[in-house]
């Protein structure tokens, strides 16, 4: 039996932000709702199946700002840059 290798997508940008990504997922998603894999091209709509306002409220509580429609469509790594540049 051979091992199959699957190309799930690039993760170079997210690999550079692993600490921020882990913290973001812990803050924003319940454990059972956290994605197993996120590629550099993924946006919030790719990993979140709930109501936008719910996630935006969590963002306000955790990062001090609401999410815009552009935030939901931007690659996760760009969102992380935005959130961590303005938080703390």
What digits encode the pLDDT tens for the residues 29-87? 999 999 999 999 999 999 999 999 999 999 999 999 999 999 999 999 999 999 998 55
Closest CA to 25 of 41, 16, 14: 14
Burial 29-42 (b: 16+ CB within 10 A, else e): beeeeeeeebbbeb
Polymer length in residues for the chain? 88
Q: According to the model, what pLDDT value does residue 1 have?
A: 46
Q: Is 59 exposed, middle or buried (0-12, 13-18, 19+ CB in 10 A)?
A: buried
Angle between the 52-63 and 18-28 helix axes, to the nearest 10 degrees? 120
Q: What is the mean pLDDT of residues 13-28?
A: 96
């Amino acid at each position: 039996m051979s091992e199959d290798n699957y190309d799930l997508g690039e993760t170079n940008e997210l690999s550079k932000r692993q600490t921020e990504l882990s913290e973001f997922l812990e803050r924003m998603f319940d454990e059972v709702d956290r994605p197993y894999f996120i590629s550099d091209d993924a946006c919030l709509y790719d990993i979140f199946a709930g109501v936008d306002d719910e996630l935006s409220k969590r963002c306000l509580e955790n990062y001090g700002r609401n999410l815009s429609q552009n935030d939901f469509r931007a690659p996760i790594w760009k969102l992380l840059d935005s959130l961590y540049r303005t938080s703390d």
